[in-house]
Every structure is written in C-alpha cells, then in structure tokens.
C-alpha cells in the first residue's frame, strides 16, 4: 500500500513511487492513495494530474502514426 502525502506535479513521479513498491511476479496488487488538503495549490495540482491522465487515455485510444508510416 502506497500513501502519498503530497500530490506530485509529474506523472513520472507517480509512476516512480508506485514502481518502488511493485515488483515483477508479486502476487498482490499495489494500492496507491493520495491525501491532499483542500487548498488552492493542492487542488490545482490534482486538476493538473487529472488532465494529464485523461490526455494519456485519449492518446492511448487514438494513437498517432509513427513517423514515416503511410497514413491511409
């Protein structure tokens, strides 16, 4: 179980934190929780993370062609 006491501004930092406790072949899933205060800075960071996550999901559903690949 991972508990974040601060919201990182970067998705890479979230992945790194989860990666530090997840190990290849382990039987149990990793649970990650983030605690935050309802102040302007934390809410702004949380909204930024959600926007980045939604953009990643959208890119996953509609992948762009690889450079040099013919587009039909």
Residue of 71, 67, 2, 72 whose CA lies nearest to 34 = 2
pLDDT, position 14: 80
| Predicted confidence (pLDDT) per residue in 15-65, tens digit | 888 888 888 888 888 888 888 788 888 888 888 888 887 877 776 666 665
pTM of the shown model: 0.56
pLDDT, position 65: 59
E strand segments, the chain: 2-4, 32-34
Whether residue 69 is predicted with pLDDT greater than 70 in this model: the reply is: no
Whether residue 72 is predicted with pLDDT greater than 60 in this model: the reply is: no
């Amino acid at each position: 179980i991972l508990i974040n006491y601060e919201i990182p501004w970067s998705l890479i930092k979230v992945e790194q934190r989860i990666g530090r406790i997840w190990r290849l072949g382990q039987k149990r899933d990793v649970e990650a929780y983030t605690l935050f205060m309802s102040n302007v800075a934390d809410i702004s960071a949380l909204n930024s993370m959600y926007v980045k996550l939604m953009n990643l999901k959208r890119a996953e559903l509609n992948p762009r062609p690889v450079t040099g690949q013919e587009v039909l």
